[in-house]
Amino acid sequence: MSHKYVYYFGGSSADGDSKMKTLLGGKGANLAEMARIGLPVPAGFTLTTEICTYFYEHGRTYPPELRAQVNESVAKMEKEMGAKLGDPKNPLLVSCRSGARDSMPGMMDTVLNIGLTEATLKGLIAKTGNERFAWDTYRRFVQMYGDVVLGLKPQSKTEIDPFEKIMEELKHEKGVNEDNQLTVSHLQELVARFKKAVKDRTGQDFPEDAHEQMWGAIGAVFGSWMNDRAIVYRRQYGIPHEWGTAANICSMVFGNMGDDCCTGVAFTRDPANGENVFYGEYLTNAQGEDVVAGIRTPKKIAELQLEMPEVYAQLDKVRGTLETHYKDVQDIEFTVQNHKLWMLQTRNGKRTGFAAVRIAVDMVDEGLIDWKTAISKNRIPPDDLNQLLQPLFDAKAKNQAVKEGNMLAKGINAGPGAATGRIKFFAEDAEKYAQQYGKHTDHRIILVRRETSPEDIRGMQAADGILTAFGGASSHAALVSRQMGKVCIVGCSKLQIDYDKMTLTVGDKVLNDGDWISIDGFTGEVIAGKLATQPSEVVQVLIEKSLKPGKSSVFKQFEKVMKWADKVRKLKIRTNADQPNQAAQAVAFGAEGIGLCRTEHMFFEHLAEMREMILANSLEARKAALEKLLPFQRNDFVGLFETMNGLPVTIRTLDPPLHEFLPNDAKGQEEMAREMGVSVEEIERRVKALHEFNPMLGFRGCRLGIVFPEITEMQSRAIIEAACIVKKKGIEVNPEIMIPLVGFKKELDLQAALVNSTAEKVFAEQGIRLDYLVGTMIELPRAAMAAAEIAQTAQFFSFGTNDLTQTGLGMSRDDYGSFITQYTELDVVKKDPFQVIDFEGIGKLMEIGVEGGRKTKKDLKIGICGEHGGEPDSVKFCHKIGLDYVSCSPFRVPVAKLAAAQAVLEEKAAKEKAKAAKDAAKAAK
Amino acid sequence: MSHKYVYYFGGSSADGDSKMKTLLGGKGANLAEMARIGLPVPAGFTLTTEICTYFYEHGRTYPPELRAQVNESVAKMEKEMGAKLGDPKNPLLVSCRSGARDSMPGMMDTVLNIGLTEATLKGLIAKTGNERFAWDTYRRFVQMYGDVVLGLKPQSKTEIDPFEKIMEELKHEKGVNEDNQLTVSHLQELVARFKKAVKDRTGQDFPEDAHEQMWGAIGAVFGSWMNDRAIVYRRQYGIPHEWGTAANICSMVFGNMGDDCCTGVAFTRDPANGENVFYGEYLTNAQGEDVVAGIRTPKKIAELQLEMPEVYAQLDKVRGTLETHYKDVQDIEFTVQNHKLWMLQTRNGKRTGFAAVRIAVDMVDEGLIDWKTAISKNRIPPDDLNQLLQPLFDAKAKNQAVKEGNMLAKGINAGPGAATGRIKFFAEDAEKYAQQYGKHTDHRIILVRRETSPEDIRGMQAADGILTAFGGASSHAALVSRQMGKVCIVGCSKLQIDYDKMTLTVGDKVLNDGDWISIDGFTGEVIAGKLATQPSEVVQVLIEKSLKPGKSSVFKQFEKVMKWADKVRKLKIRTNADQPNQAAQAVAFGAEGIGLCRTEHMFFEHLAEMREMILANSLEARKAALEKLLPFQRNDFVGLFETMNGLPVTIRTLDPPLHEFLPNDAKGQEEMAREMGVSVEEIERRVKALHEFNPMLGFRGCRLGIVFPEITEMQSRAIIEAACIVKKKGIEVNPEIMIPLVGFKKELDLQAALVNSTAEKVFAEQGIRLDYLVGTMIELPRAAMAAAEIAQTAQFFSFGTNDLTQTGLGMSRDDYGSFITQYTELDVVKKDPFQVIDFEGIGKLMEIGVEGGRKTKKDLKIGICGEHGGEPDSVKFCHKIGLDYVSCSPFRVPVAKLAAAQAVLEEKAAKEKAKAAKDAAKAAK
């Protein structure tokens, strides 16, 4: 038998099932599954992702055996649907849709109504008795096929779509305003003009053979895997380009054959807040694309109960069947043709962070899933937790806005959260603006559109919030925003958007490009101007302790997820904090210690004394200045130790180059001279002497403490004295002193000896002893190389992945802007290495470091305190290579916890899978 | 039997021999060896280096069994010498001298005349019948013991030596000018005052027990292993601090008992130029220290033949015996006491590079050694070859100086070469000056001293040349200069040096601190002012081809050494060159290709076009500017390819950040604006846009070629077009295109694809094809990590160890000045990692890189083109890890060749040694 490339589904049977997503793509696998469990699916078949791989490896051709397999499936489909592709008497129409392993909504191409020709058109008229419907369908087909398959697209950014242009011209000629006012003869003329345009541009006649049309569409769908927006999308979501898409040929059913027809999309639960309600929209007498395109604002699903009660009941039953079967929220597409319900698609519904948490928790309560499933990355991507911690608009500020007449309108709350930004009307503008200004608070963006389309995806990425005048909760804007975790309001029909004038008008209020606007994704409110925010519910309960949480509050759900994560994770989670209030926040979020306290922040608060130290030109003068800094440092540490109440506190000795503490500009230097009573020349001289060509690679880190041991001495004294003070109060204290930028064992030897001798002095003075550790950061490639040696002295390691990435890649975070965009677009780097650990490069250095360290000390405590410590994939990597803890900013603690838990579950699953495969292989022998 | 800590020598026997240097130190082992081969050695014994180790590990105490072993050896020595330590009637006096495994001349302490007390003094007078001699000896002993053992030293840099001060006072009181005018009673008073000074400072009486004196001296000698100058010395010469020194107790013989006594030092051949003549100096009626101290200028050894013909004949015979026995030049110390010759020391003589080469070559000719021994690192340290390439003073310039009266004086030519620099009279000043100005041509230093002492070692390091008024060819200044390879003239007695006024006066010519002076180490000539130089003989013959070498010329010797090296080395030697004349020089020195041609140097020569390219704000404009640069680049490459005549030429694409091509200052920017016809603002804007915080880690290397592919395209075109032109002329051509700063495989993929497609275009245009390679630099830690992947695309690797060191250590070469001095002093780094590869860190990255690359391509060609490629230890490391070639600057090619040969020989020796040890272990079983 030849290799199977085509999988049939229809009636109540199917060749494939939902487990075969890799081969059939999500859409194909789920159509097969729905057919298997007896749901009404129009017959069809799936061309596998292997064909896509073949297609790109063989100059866009197909495997030779494909044609016969397709023909066989077409025959089965024709039999099931009782009609024939290309039959002038009884024509079968089909769609051709992409379907990748992971859903990539709207990124690839679709062709509907394939099989309509001059000949079959007559059959369709005869069959439906609806000439206008048939001609309108033909018009739509020629337009879609001409665009997608034959490539009749605008040839520049400014050109209007050629088909739209022809239609506008004809409507103008005929004095017609709306599409539905076009008569049969108008439509006939339109089709003729469309075909002529195709001929003019391509030199080819429009294909009049149904099978030829089908193969053309298949080629276009596979071809769309490599279009620009699909590539961008995959890059953002980490989908490998190698996966390929499947293509699905599906019998057409029509939601636009009359008022007993409709088409809709729905979620089995609310994807914005997670509530267990049937949530969806439909349009009567319409094709499915109309709902998603967002051009007409559709009706709520509840209305279908009134309009077509039987169909609604059937659909609601399907909703239950699907959730019980899939055990997850489903995002479905359906069409009702002459009162008959057809299911066109089901897939796991994308949801906001709020919804993800609520749905996961609810489903455990409902007994649908267990708690380990609930906290898996498919249910709650760790980053989603972040949404629950984001600020909301301040209630008072909102009231004030109402008073001042700034409350503009209310739309559909499609993506929760509060976003304030400058209006940008075009995705391209938004993208450029973001490139120019970066993520600065003063330059946040709200993308304001009539509707969005897949072309807008980069602009949406650049924006903090999306606001559309049209479209419902299932529109493109809503779907994509939810997935990106962006605040989103759609269908805000009061907004008048003029793209030419670049204005947004509501009543007599006119906002321009660049004006401030605020959108509340919880309530759907659109407010002119910049609005103040207040902390989220979780923050109010946990951090501010200003709110008592209700039983089913977001907080309670969040708390449950955190408890589950804590049950299973092995990594400890610490926080990067240098002030008691930050530390307290982190502890409230469950931090188990401080992984990085940067002492330099404390110095910036006592700049005068610090500068005195830097200007000192003798050891005595430097010591005198340090003497003044000592009580401040000690005081700061006392506060931290008290807050952390016995949890380990890792304090890093002075790290940044000294010139960071001096003013660089003439004005600042004059001021400093005046304040310190020295000459400007003296300060200029010192600034010049400290100037460095590459400060990142210069006189900083432990190099400071080695050249000026008195600095480390003062800092050690401050730490140990503070610890003694706190211990004397009866509070447990666990200081861990961390030496930065160590590359050579001897550096750590020297600094550790200094810390230890200072500690002994303090113990003698204070008449009390306590335990403390001296360890080092591993943030230079050399440190990773020499880890075994360094571990002879170090009592712990902490990976400083920021600097390790900078040095390991030879890439300065301050300077990589000039090429990183191209690097991402050209796939040189898969992800920004300063956000996600570069596993193959920096990760390998880390593995070498862990191996070396543990070779010397089997149980050496190893953590990470770079900013990667709060990024889920990096956290999982840290688990994999055997770190003891990760440390991240306070607000990332929940994210890190969940990622750490998932790391354990995923590792276990992978082991079980490997074991099963091994057992199966054994059994096969 | 207890562990043997003491080794006796005397008569014609010895416990030890010359192979036991590790245990007995060089001096002890050779005293034992000389006794064994029947040379007249005063009896004595050696306390092993193990005692030194024990001493430092046990709080400066000795192994308990030591005392008995010492007593036993003292008894044997007393028997041999027919006198007893501490015997008032027949006293034996001894010396106590340090002796490390490697000679560290003058760095540690020595005590002479041990055993003299008030009681034994009388015995000495009786025995010698020379009261004045006895009292003078006692005076010397109390002074030396008081200084070295009892620590009566100046307490600050400005204080005079306390003993000298007392002596000056007494001489003043007594109206005595010279030491030898002091009478017995003067000396008695002096001793009394010395002892009082000791008592006053230390509270202790001067020891009157001979054994107590001996043990005090032993403690001082072991203690001096850790004094400051010994540590500095070891650091410079890479001697491990763990080795420790031995201590030698040796019967005293006296060169100062009258005019039938003398003392001298000699070399069996001339250590300055290598000539096979007996070369040495002596002082009649003097102690050995007087010769080395350089206070009296001694007589040439030839005069001894006239003064004491029998002794001279005996000594000359010893010279022959020693050379035949040791098969190397010996540096000996001897004393003649009442016409009897005693050998006090022999060791391999330190020599200049000129002498090293000549001696090695001569000894092969003489059949004393084979050629492999001749080129070993002990015979010719590779860096020594450098001396043979250094410029000499230009003959015309010297004639001119004579005419103008600038020829000041002529001294002893103790270190060959030509040095011009600014006069510094104090070592400390020289050191500070060098720290301030670095190695800039305008700030070279000639250290001008009456004599030098071990305290001056850092200042000597800082200087380019050393000039002394006193001392002979064996004085401290001469010895140390030769070892350091510094130009040196000693014993230039016409110089009047006034330390207080800081002047150097010759006749009516007065030179001050900071004035220019030139010294010719070949001729001994001292010239006021800055003198022009001309190339060395080797360079004149090989490079300039302006000289035909004589049969025994330096060139012929050099040539022989190079041929021997070529016979055995496995590493290929390439050169870093970007201009035909540089390349030609390197080829003359035997370079086998270009390992690094930096294309940016070519751009700097066409700055206008380069700047036009950088200012271009469209692809078209950039291409137009590149179009102008193309012919220049092509032309440069044609020249290089022609010069290299078929040898491989590795060309690196543009590497430095673009801002390096723009002026940074306002004036430069204005000028550029005028020249280019654009506004200053435009240029300011561009400079600002290109500014980077850490240019080393910024937009440079292949990042440029990826963001601006048209640059790589132009460069590839220039290279391939040039290659085609040259090939068409019938000249072989082997271009290797090297992509810099690659960290990710994809970077190389992109750049290699561009190079290859450009090459194909050029081949089609030119109607000719040729082979070329595309490879990459491995200069980022990530590249080492990803070497296996990168090697899938790379056709060769070249380690860029400059950048690899900067990134791997997180240390900028431009900025490390602020801490590297302390780092060296504190032993954080053993050697400057930018001079010698940091084997444990950067070396490990290299090993990982080699392993990865060869895993993918077994025979991958791998080289190094960082500046380490010309440093001997680094070259040996490159051999060890299996590189194919090293590349270095043209003048380093001979050094690299010799180091590469030594690497092979040393590897073989190590293998043979390991095998022998294994066989021995097997045999023992």
Nearest to B707 among A698, A819, A841 (CB): A819
Judged by a CB distance cut-off of 8 A, whether residue B624 touches chain A is: no
CA distance B139 to B163: 10
Judged by a CB distance cut-off of 8 A, whether residue A776 touches chain B is: no
SS3 assignment, position A888:
strand
Judged by a CB distance cut-off of 8 A, whether residue B779 touches chain A is: yes
Q: For residue A189, give the nearest of A160, A169, A209, A207 by alpha carbon.
A: A169
Which segments of A372-520 are extended strands (E)? 392-393, 407-410, 412-415, 418-424, 445-449, 465-468, 487-490, 496-498, 503-506, 509-512, 516-520
Instruction: Show residues of chain B in contact with A696, CB under 8 Å.
Output: 693-694, 696-697, 810, 812
What pLDDT sits at residue B491? 84
Residues B580-597, mean pLDDT to the nearest whole number: 94
Judged by a CB distance cut-off of 8 A, whether residue A697 touches chain B is: yes
Q: Which letter does DSSP use for residue B501 in this model?
A: T
State yes or no: ipTM above 0.95.
no
Judged by a CB distance cut-off of 8 A, whether residue B785 touches chain A is: yes
What pLDDT sits at residue A395? 80
Judged by a CB distance cut-off of 8 A, whether residue B803 touches chain A is: yes
Type and span of the H or E element at B447: strand B445-449
Residue B52 annotated as catalytic: no
What pLDDT sits at residue B294? 65
Judged by a CB distance cut-off of 8 A, whether residue A703 touches chain B is: yes
The β-bridge partners of B111 are: B96
CB B375 within 8 A of CB B903: no
B residues 711-750 lying closer than 8 A (beta carbon) to A? 741, 743-744, 746-747, 750
Burial A291-302 (b: 16+ CB within 10 A, else e): bbbbeebbbbbe
Asked if the Cβ–Cβ distance from B697 to A692 is below 8 Å, we say no
Residues B360-384, mean pLDDT to the nearest whole number: 96
* Structure token digits, residue B482: 């030769």
The β-bridge partners of B341 are: B336
Instruction: Show residues of chain A in contact with B827, CB under 8 Å.
Output: 746
Q: Which residues of chain A have pLDDT under 50?
A: none
Identified catalytic residue from B261, B262, B724, B865: B865
Nearest to A693 among B743, B789, B815 (CB): B815
CA distance A195 to A202: 10
Which of B690, B693, B824 to mutate: most A Cβ within 10 Å?
A: B693
| Percentage of chain B modeled with pLDDT above 90 | 71
Instruction: Show residues of chain B in contact with A845, CB under 8 Å.
Output: 781, 785
Residue B261 has pLDDT above 90, yes or no: yes
Q: Write out B295-334 in H/E/C secondary structure.
A: CCCCEECHHHHHHCHHHHHHHHHHHHHHHHHHCCCEEEEE
CB B296 within 8 A of CB B469: no
Q: For residue A271, give the nearest of A365, A392, A373, A384 by alpha carbon.
A: A384
Which of B664, B694, B793 to mutate: most A Cβ within 10 Å?
A: B694
How many helical (H) and strand (E) elements, i.e. helices and strands, does chain A have?
36, 34
SS3 assignment, position A351:
coil
What pLDDT sits at residue B288? 76
Type and span of the H or E element at B820: helix B817-825
SS3 assignment, position A568:
helix
Judged by a CB distance cut-off of 8 A, whether residue A688 touches chain B is: no
CA distance B173 to A43: 127
User: Which positions ≥6 away from B813 have C-beta within 8 Å?
Assistant: B802, B805, B806, B834
Identified catalytic residue from B476, B659, B868, B879: B476
CA distance B375 to B718: 43
Sheet order of strands, A262-267 included: A299-300, A279-284, A262-267, A330-337, A340-348
A residues 806-825 lying closer than 8 A (beta carbon) to B? 806-812, 814-816, 818-819, 822-823
Q: Which residue of B has its CA nearest to A748?
A: B828
Nearest to B785 among A823, A829, A845 (CB): A845
Burial of B159 from C-beta contacts in 10 A (0-12 / 13-18 / 19+): exposed
pTM (2 d.p.) = 0.85
Which of B690, B789, B811 to mutate: most A Cβ within 10 Å?
A: B811
CA distance A897 to A586: 12
Instruction: Show residues of chain A in contact with B831, CB under 8 Å.
Output: none
